[in-house]
Structures are given as structure tokens and as C-alpha cells.
Chains A and B, each alone.
Chain A
Amino acid sequence: MVLPRQPCRGVNTLKLLSAPWFHFLLMGGCLFLLQGFLWPEPPPRVGPLAEARIETLKRQWLTTTGRMPSPSELSSMVAAELDREMLFQEALRLDLHRLDPIVEQRLLRNMRFLNLDDGQGEQALLDAAWRMDLHLGDEVVRRRLIQLMEQLLLVRHPPTEVTDAALRQRYAALADELLLPPRYTLQHVYLSGDRSEQAAALLARFREEGTDPVAALQRGAPFLSGYRFVARTPEQLGRDFGTAFVTNLEQLSAQAVGWVGPVYSTYGVHLVYLEQRQPGRRLTFAESRDRLERELVYEYRREALAAAVSELRENYQVQL
């Protein structure tokens, strides 16, 4: 029978507790924890931007707006650029550049373009690209990683769901802007410029004889855009006839349906048989819903991303 060896264990424990090396370890551990508590590792730093980068931002602004940015615009641009830099650094910390197939393809292409493919296979080529920090200097890789980070942040901070109530609220706010234009259904007889003086007489004859618009076509000239236009808005008619035609037609369209004109256009003169004029009106909620939803989805996404980036900023030391 084997006796219990408890006393021996106790002795060993005491021995351990009194061992100098144990004291050393314990003190070391405590100091380590204390250091972490008293002097925590500083958060990663972003910025300030290099002067050359700021110049590039100014140049981009200049070429797209035609003027130099104001001081507030510049500081806003710099802040946005620092956010992008932060997202880029965060992506690098997550090793996304080693994990994303698009980045890999881009780096492989760069290596081959630089004639650095020594035939060792894709993995070896990628390892070489990473060793050379090729991913740090490639704008496409940078933007790609920022996109990935934005996607991940949106998973963490999903945008607010668009509700029916929010849509209705937006509709009420925009009701005066959500308008449906009038629509015209018409046929026309086209007379080229050299026959314009005949227009009034011919129109009078059409009215008097009640000429059928299809039969009347034979009195006109060819018109490539066609002869009958169904339920077209003024803007749509403008595409085929020009804006002058539309302005002239709208002035005449108070008349009852039937032959109207002559209506002058960029091409010449038109004798118009107005079949129907459907007046404009406000859009209903159902008709506006798609547009409003699209706008709200965009807004909510933008807000969600801004909140997520702001939260991430707390983990960084951003220097303007």
C-alpha cells in the first residue's frame, strides 16, 4: 500500500515559495503588470500628413473645383485623409493585405510587371512582394484595403433599417418637389424649312376637313424620329424635337385636342395633332417610394460608417 504524500507536497510548496528565483519571477510579473497599468502602450499613431500629401490634396481639389480650398475645406480634407490612413493601418494590423485575393492579384501583377517573377510560383512571388513592402506603396492596394475595412466596419455597425414611417416622413418633407410632369400624346406632319410658309394654310385645311393625322402624313416630309409620340413628357419631346418645339407646344396646348400649330422647331415647322394632354400632378407615396428609399439607404449607410470610423478613431492617436 502506498501512503499519501501530502506532507511532502506541502514541503515542496513552501520550498517553492521561498525560492529566490520564484521571488524574481513574481516581482518581474508584478512590475510588468504595473508598467502596463501606469504606462500603457500608446495607441497607434496616425498623422500628421506629409507636406507633399497635403499638396496633392490641394491639387486634386483645384483640378476638380477650379479653385484653391479654403482653410476650413483644407482641414476637412486633411481629417478625411487621416481617417483613410487610419483605416489603411487598421487593415494592415489585421493582415488583410495577406488575406485578400484582390490585393494578392494586384501584387502578383506588379511583381510580374517589374520582371521579378523567377518562376518559383505564386506564393513565393507574394512572399517576395510582402518582404519588399510593395503593398504599402500601391494606391490600388491601399484603396482596396480601406474598402475592406469599411465593409467590415459596416458589418459591425449595420446601417439603420429604412422603415415605412421614415419614408413617409421624408415624403411629407419633399412632397412639393416630387412632381409628375404633364404628358402628351401627339402625331405630327413635318414640313422642312423651305415649306414653312405653307404651314398655316395647310393646317387650316386639315382642321376644316378634319383630316386624319395618318393620312395627313403624306403631305409632309420624312422625319427620322417618327410621327406618333405616346405619353411623352415635355423633356422627352425635347429629346426628339428640341426645346423650342416644346416651349411652343406648351403655349398652344391650352387648346382642345385636335390640330394645333404651326409649331416651330430646330428642324422646321410641324403641324401637330394633339390626341391627349395629361396634366402634371404630385407623385403619390407609392410612386416616390423607390427614390426615397434609395436616398435613405445612402444616408443611413453614410451615418453608420461615420459612427464606426469615429469609434475606431478612439483607438488611435490622430495627429493633425
Chain B
Amino acid sequence: MVFQGMRRLMGAVLAGFMLHAAALAAAPGGTDPCPGYNPLNNVYWGDLHVHTRYSLDASTQDTRTTPAEAYAFARGEPLGVQPWRDGKPLRTLKLDRPLDFAAVTDHAELLGEVELCTNPDSEGWGSLWCRGFRAFPRAAFFLFNSTAASGRRLGLCGEEGERCLAAASAPWRDIVTAAENANDDSGACEFTSFIAYEWTGASDTLANIHRNVIFRNSIIPDLPISFVDSSSAPALYQSLEDECLETGSGCDVMVIPHNSNLSDGYMFRLPDTLAGIEQQRRFEPLMELIQHKGSSECFYAPGISEDELCAFEQLPYNTFSGKFMRWNREPPAADDGFARGVLTEGLAAWADGSANPFELGFIGSTDTHLGTPGAVDEKGFAGHGGAGAPAGDEISPGLVDDLEFNPGGLAAVWAPQNRRDDLFDALRRREAYATSGPRISLRMFAGENLDPGLCESPDLVAKGYAQGAPMGSVVSAANGMRIAVMAQRDPASLPLQRVQVIKGWVGADGTAREKVYEVAGDPDNGATVDLASCQPRGAGAGSLCTVWSDPDFAPDTPAFYYTRAVENPSCRWSQHFCAAQGVNCANPDSVQDSLAACCAPEHRPTIQERAVSSPVWYYPDSPAGE
């Protein structure tokens, strides 16, 4: 009830803004097709996980980027970041290639919404929250040196409290306004922004169950629903049902979980009821597979898992608290919430007679806390702040970030044009994929009727849609599964080494099974990277394309399939740094303490950047396109 009261108040504040937003939405140019409209879909690049100064864990690192500046950065403008001197930044970052879309997702719990309780008769007046607001006049008195005995309780705040209201609601309003202003509704369709925030949930064991909440348009609830409001994922869905989907106002929303690698298995819990499963499916079509704090694709342990590419950006612990409390640290395990395990768990639920609650597509993003969406280059990575070597006049600098972290990835979306509705629809139907940073184009179609010669045809995309279904779909394939996959290298990155198909299913004994098929390119192409100079060596492919038939297809076994396009080896961000410092691990005595991480056993100097498609699902007797 307290929150309802507060929301009413905030609703009044935002009402004017919402009218403005509605006017923007209806502006001319909002409905004509964009210049690059393509019914067969273009790929758009974005970052749906961005923190600015309104996230306390960013501002504690002296991040001063505002949401508007973060969007400007995404559009290609330079941005000054810490350290600061006399209010001016000493470092400036700029994207070589701007993004097509972005969402600022500051923590709802830390937005600084000092809740306002202007009416002594309101139900919330005596609550814990309202005491904060009632203190503002006192602060005002002190600051303004006005009289405390004026009898005007809201002296600082103006007659109606409007000034306090404006001050207190500034962060969320600023976030919403920035997203509205950054969204290009001029008709040129060059940039899309989404109003969004992060629901920063934690399990009882403090494991991460964080989720980003992305709104389709400018019709939004009065306030973000935080973990304080709704303290479980199902409670969040219910609140979003009540305050968004069910309002009939045009409000629409999706929820994207991230860092299930740090969830200790708590991120995806099987709902107890059919209604719960439906809610899970409705709200969560995607998960964030790759970001600054590691990859959540699949678990790797030498001798246990065969897929060595799963070692890519795997964190050495399974909860974030394990990072800081070594005595409490547990290494990751297969059931911690990695995508493959979760997808298989979903198939098992289907086999048990319910719907699959975890039909999850994939995206990547950065989770930047500098307010720098899309800053994913390994070379020149500016770090996330906080880590590094002990200082001293005589020592060399250490790494700019903790060794186990990385610059994060990008979200790629196949949509007919760069508009909110189009991107949102594409994300919802999971025609989207994750990359670890490079802009590798990746298309995938699945079905039983795909023409094996598809790769030769300039019309392969049109035929792919006509003969099969794109990534993210449920496909019918009773007579055999064919998958057409086409990958094209990022012109600003390295050539491709290979393309794989990853299949997962539940074995007859009830255990999770998976198999990785090499379908195009050559895993033994001999490409390497010189660790001293970080120069890549060896040839690779500009593009790879194949139509693959599943040799192990079993019509009575439900399965998921996704594809992975892998680049030739390259230096990890940490190796770029170590190489630039001239570190030679063959001569340990020459390595200064501050650079010891360069030669630590856990340092992985080489990576293979990649794109990972959303899966397709096959269920026995399932109709196509369901």
C-alpha cells in the first residue's frame, strides 16, 4: 500500500512527461517505413545492459556519465571518463562504430528515488520510507539558512513540495527522458533506445538473480519495480502484469536475466504451476549469454566436458560473493545456471508433460559501469574500475580490471528496421544472438525442407524463411533436421575459423546430453596469434555457409540446436596489455609484481571471439512456427 501511494505521487510528476512522450510517439515520421526497411531483416547491433552515474556501484567508481551521455556515446560521440581533474576527464573514449540501439539499465534499487509522502493522511505517512521525505525540510532549513519556525513544513520544497519532488525523482525521470530523447523518431531510424532498468535480485544465499527489464515504448509504470518491491522473479512478473501488461495502456515489457553463471543455480527455478510456466515464458524470451562478468553459455572443466570452447571467459567462482570471500568460494559447476543446462532442463520439463519454461534465446551486452555502451574492443579496454596493482612511485601499472573480467559482448538483432517496435518484436521472437564483441553476422534457418544448395543462392535468406524457420523458432522436422547456417566475419576483426552446431537433448536415462558438430570451416586451420605482438597469423574465412543435416536425428526426442561462429585466435584484453608492457613470462624474474597477473596460471592470453545464435527447438509432433 505504501508503494501504491508513492507511485501515485510519482505518477503526478511523470504525467507531464508522459504526455510529452506520447506526443513524441505520435510524431510524423513514426509510421513510415525507415530508409533501410528490409522485410527479410537487417542485423542491428546494440547493448542492453548499461550502467551510468545513477547506479551506485558505478558512481562509487567515480563514473559520472549521465544516461543522456551514455546514449550519445552509443551514437558515436566521445565521452570523458575517470579519472577526473578539476572536474574534467583525463580519458576520452569513443566507439569506432556506433551502435544501432541501446538501453540504460541502472539499478532500480539504488536509483535514489527518495519516496515522497506529502499527505499526512496518507497510509505511508508513518512508514520507514516516508520518514526520509519528511526530513527534507530539515535539510532545506539547514541549507537555506531559513527559519525553522516558519511553520512551513515544506520550506525547502516549495508550497506544494514541488522542488523536493523534482529533486527526488530526478534519476528515474532523467533516465526516461534520456531514452526518449535519444530515440531517433526523425524517420531516419538511425538509433533506438529503450526505457529500461535493472532489477537487482539476490537469492537467500546472495547468489545473483539479476534481470534487466526492457519496455517496448514510452508507456511505462510510474516507477520501476525493484527488488525491494518484488523480491522474487515470479513476484516481479506479477507486478509487471499488474502495472504494465494488464493495464490496457499499450505498456509492454520483457525481462532479460543475466549472469546466470553467478547464480549458483538460482537464476532459473522450475515454476510450480502451469500458470507460473506460462508467465516465465511470456516475460523471459532471452538471456544475456556474454557480458563483462563472464560467459554463461556452457560449463567447462578439464576431463569432464569435451567442448573446450566453453572455457571462454568462464569465471573461477559461482557467486559474486565468492569473488570477495575466498573462504566461501566455490568453483563453477554444470548446474550453476549455464545456458546449455538450463535449456536441457526445459526439455526435461516438456518431457514430463508441462510446457518448456526455458525456451531462451541469447543476446550479449557489456554491463558497463562506465556508461560506455558497446565499448567491447579487447585492445584498449578501459577496464571496469577498482582493480589493479598496489601503487608506488617506482612500479609499473597493473591491469585495468580484474583478470577474470572481460569487455563484454553485443546483442545482434534481425529486424526489418531500426525502430522500437521492430527490435522489440525481434527480441521477443528470439531472432537475435550474442557475440563476444565482434560484429559477426550470423543467420540460421532450420527445418526439414531446406534446400541443400541454399548457400549458392543470392536469395538464400528469402528461401530460408520460405523453407524453414529462423533462429529462436520452434520447428517441425519429423523427417529429419536440417540447419542452414551462414556466418560473415566482422570486417574490423579477424577471419572466421569455423562454424559449429550445438545440439542438446535429454537421454533415455534422463541425463542431459549434448554434442558439438563441426559443420563449416576448419578447426585445424593452423591460425595462431603471436603473444608478444598480438599479431594474428594464418588464414581464415571471410564467410562460411552450409546446410547441415543432423546425422543423429531421433524423431521422438525433443532437442534444441544452436550455432556458434568462431574467429581465429586473438589476444585477450589482458594479453594486449601485458604484451604492450613487454612482459616475458619465460623470464619470471623480469616480471614486476604489478604485472604478476600476466603470468598467473589462471591467465588465458588467447581467446577465440565468437557469435552464438539463439536456439531452435524441436518437439515431436510440434507444428511448425508454434
B486 touches A222 (CB 8 A): yes
8 Å CB contact of B35 from A56, A65, A220, A231: A231
Query: Chain B contact residues (Cβ within 8 angstroms of A): what range?
Result: 35 or more
Looking at A138-146, A201-209, A251-259, the stretch in contact with chain B turns out to be: A138-146
Number of interface residues of A (CB under 8 A): 78
Within 8 A of B (CB), among A43-95: 55-56, 58-68, 73, 76-77, 80, 93-95
User: Would you call B132 an interface residue if the criterion is a C-beta within 8 Å of the partner chain's C-beta atoms?
Assistant: yes
User: Would you call B97 an interface residue if the criterion is a C-beta within 8 Å of the partner chain's C-beta atoms?
Assistant: yes
B203 smallest CB distance to A (angstroms): 13
A59 touches B458 (CB 8 A): no
User: Would you call B322 an interface residue if the criterion is a C-beta within 8 Å of the partner chain's C-beta atoms?
Assistant: no
Contacts of A95 in B (CB 8 A): 135, 138
Q: Give a binary string over A238-265; 1 marks a CB under 8 Å from any B CB, 0 the rest.
A: 1111111100000000000000000001
Looking at A5-13, A18-26, A27-35, A97-105, the stretch in contact with chain B turns out to be: A97-105
Residue of A with least CB distance to B45: A239
Contacts of B455 in A (CB 8 A): 222
Residue of A with least CB distance to B399: A63
- A147 and B59 contact, Cβ closer than 8 Å, known pairs A152-B167, A156-B143, A226-B42: yes
Residue of B with least CB distance to A144: B56
User: Would you call A218 an interface residue if the criterion is a C-beta within 8 Å of the partner chain's C-beta atoms?
Assistant: yes
Contacts of B68 in A (CB 8 A): 294
Within 8 A of A (CB), among B126-140: 128-129, 131-132, 135, 138-140
Q: Give a binary string over B57-100; 1 marks a CB under 8 Å from any A CB, 0 the rest.
A: 10110000010110010001100001111110011000001100
The answer for the CA separation of A235 and B94 in the assembled complex, in Å, is 14
- A102 and B35 contact, Cβ closer than 8 Å, known pairs A222-B545, A225-B43: no
B135 touches A80 (CB 8 A): no
User: Would you call B173 an interface residue if the criterion is a C-beta within 8 Å of the partner chain's C-beta atoms?
Assistant: no
B72 touches A294 (CB 8 A): yes
The answer for the CA separation of A294 and B390 in the assembled complex, in Å, is 38
B114 touches A101 (CB 8 A): yes
A243 touches B491 (CB 8 A): yes
- A122 and B142 contact, Cβ closer than 8 Å, known pairs A143-B60, A226-B42: no
User: Would you call A154 an interface residue if the criterion is a C-beta within 8 Å of the partner chain's C-beta atoms?
Assistant: yes
The answer for the CA separation of A291 and B73 in the assembled complex, in Å, is 12
- A225 and B441 contact, Cβ closer than 8 Å, known pairs A76-B85, A140-B57, A155-B163: yes
User: Would you call A193 an interface residue if the criterion is a C-beta within 8 Å of the partner chain's C-beta atoms?
Assistant: yes
B115 smallest CB distance to A (angstroms): 7
8 Å CB contact of A64 from B57, B82, B168: B82
A86 smallest CB distance to B (angstroms): 14
A113 touches B206 (CB 8 A): yes
The answer for the CA separation of A210 and B5 in the assembled complex, in Å, is 70
A224 touches B543 (CB 8 A): yes
Consensus secondary structure, chain A interface: helix
Q: Give a binary string over A217-238; 1 marks a CB under 8 Å from any B CB, 0 the rest.
A: 1101111111111111001001
Contacts of B66 in A (CB 8 A): 298
Looking at B17-25, B214-222, B286-294, B381-389, the stretch in contact with chain A turns out to be: B381-389
A139 touches B491 (CB 8 A): no
User: Would you call A111 an interface residue if the criterion is a C-beta within 8 Å of the partner chain's C-beta atoms?
Assistant: no
A196 smallest CB distance to B (angstroms): 12
A143 touches B56 (CB 8 A): yes
B567 smallest CB distance to A (angstroms): 13
B142 touches A94 (CB 8 A): yes
Residue of B72, B110, B400, B458 most packed against chain A (CB within 10 A): B458
Contacts of B97 in A (CB 8 A): 235, 238-239
B491 touches A242 (CB 8 A): yes
Contacts of A222 in B (CB 8 A): 455-458, 460-461, 486, 545
User: Would you call A318 an interface residue if the criterion is a C-beta within 8 Å of the partner chain's C-beta atoms?
Assistant: no
B388 touches A225 (CB 8 A): no
User: Would you call A283 an interface residue if the criterion is a C-beta within 8 Å of the partner chain's C-beta atoms?
Assistant: no
Contacts of B489 in A (CB 8 A): 266-267
User: Would you call B393 an interface residue if the criterion is a C-beta within 8 Å of the partner chain's C-beta atoms?
Assistant: yes
Within 8 A of A (CB), among B367-407: 382-383, 385, 387-391, 393, 397-400
User: Would you call B503 an interface residue if the criterion is a C-beta within 8 Å of the partner chain's C-beta atoms?
Assistant: no
8 Å CB contact of B397 from A62, A122, A156: A62
Residue of A with least CB distance to B487: A224
8 Å CB contact of B385 from A64, A144, A148, A225: A64
The answer for the CA separation of A4 and B69 in the assembled complex, in Å, is 80
Contacts of A144 in B (CB 8 A): 56, 110, 112
Within 8 A of B (CB), among A278-297: 290-291, 294
Interface residues of chain A, those whose CB is within 8 Å of chain B, are 55-56, 58-68, 73, 76-77, 80, 93-96, 99-102, 104-105, 113, 122-123, 139-140, 143-144, 147-148, 151-156, 192-193, 217-218, 220-232, 235, 238-245, 265-268, 290-291, 294, 298, 302, 306
Report the 4 A-B pairs with minimum CB-CB distance, sorted nearest first.
A242-B491, A63-B388, A59-B391, A99-B135
Give 8 CB contacts A-B under 8 Å.
A66-B397, A105-B228, A144-B56, A151-B168, A218-B458, A222-B460, A232-B36, A267-B543
Given contacts A64-B90, A123-B128, A143-B56, 7 further A-B contacts (CB under 8 A): A55-B391, A62-B388, A64-B400, A68-B391, A143-B59, A192-B542, A224-B441
Interface residues of chain B, those whose CB is within 8 Å of chain A, are 35-36, 38, 40, 42-43, 45, 56-57, 59-60, 66, 68-69, 72, 76-77, 82-87, 90-91, 97-98, 109-110, 112, 114-115, 128-129, 131-132, 135, 138-140, 142-144, 156, 163-164, 167-168, 170, 181, 188, 206, 228, 382-383, 385, 387-391, 393, 397-400, 439, 441, 443, 455-458, 460-461, 486-489, 491-492, 542-543, 545
